């Protein structure tokens, strides 16, 4: 089964009906399901992102709960790669990129969870330039390479 990895920005858009990308995200997930693909995310990365968001802004608890509810409602699987393996891969990525650890957890999660692609609305940190650096490490370590793009772009690739 083809796995499509959802980074936090996609989950945020899904959970917030007022988000600019909400409708596109819902259509994307409906199409992924129709095609028989599995939507996933890394439990450790999502939990860390939500914890940091709540710590920075305590009023974000409601937002975090909405995201968790959307994950359940849309049948997105939160999967847990081995934490030590995840962190070792993040450390390898740090040698090749200037990205923050939170973003690298998503890249490592997508890789270790055998996703075909990683989808994100955050094109600053999830783009072809960083995809190239991540895949350089993945190739060196004999890991699967991944494609990175917005849900719109990923859908074009998958059809």
Q: Would you say residue 87 has pLDDT above 70?
A: yes
Q: What is the mean pLDDT of residues 72-100?
A: 97
Q: Say what the pLDDT of residue 159 is.
A: 78
Q: Say what the pLDDT of residue 45 is.
A: 97
Task: Tell me how many helices (H) and strands (E) the chain has.
Answer: 8, 5
Q: What is the mean pLDDT of residues 5-28?
A: 97
Q: Would you say residue 59 has pLDDT above 70?
A: no
Q: Would you say residue 58 has pLDDT above 80?
A: no
Give rounded-to-5 percent helix, strand, coil for the chain: 60, 10, 30
Q: Would you say residue 13 has pLDDT above 80?
A: yes
Q: What is the mean pLDDT of residues 53-65?
A: 83
Q: Say what the pLDDT of residue 78 is.
A: 98
Q: Is the pTM of this model over 0.85?
A: yes
Q: What is the mean pLDDT of residues 27-42?
A: 96
Q: Say what the pLDDT of residue 7 is.
A: 97
Sequence-distant (6+) residues with CB within 8 A of 111 are 89, 134, 138, 143, 144, 146
């Amino acid at each position: 089964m083809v796995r499509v990895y959802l980074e936090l920005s996609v989950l945020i858009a899904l959970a917030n009906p007022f988000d600019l990308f909400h409708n596109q995200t819902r259509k994307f997930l409906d199409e992924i399901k129709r095609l028989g693909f599995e939507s996933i995310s890394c439990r450790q990365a999502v939990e860390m992102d939500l914890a940091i968001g709540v710590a920075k802004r305590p009023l974000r608890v409601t937002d975090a709960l909405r995201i968790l509810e959307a994950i359940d409602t849309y049948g997105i699987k939160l999967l847990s790669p081995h934490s030590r393996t995840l962190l070792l891969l993040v450390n390898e990525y740090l040698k090749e990129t200037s990205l923050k650890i939170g973003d690298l957890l998503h890249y490592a999660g997508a890789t270790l969870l055998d996703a075909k692609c990683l989808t994100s609305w955050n094109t600053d940190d999830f783009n072809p330039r960083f995809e190239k650096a991540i895949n350089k490490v993945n190739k060196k370590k004999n890991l699967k390479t991944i494609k990175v793009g917005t849900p719109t772009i990923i859908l074009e690739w998958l059809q």
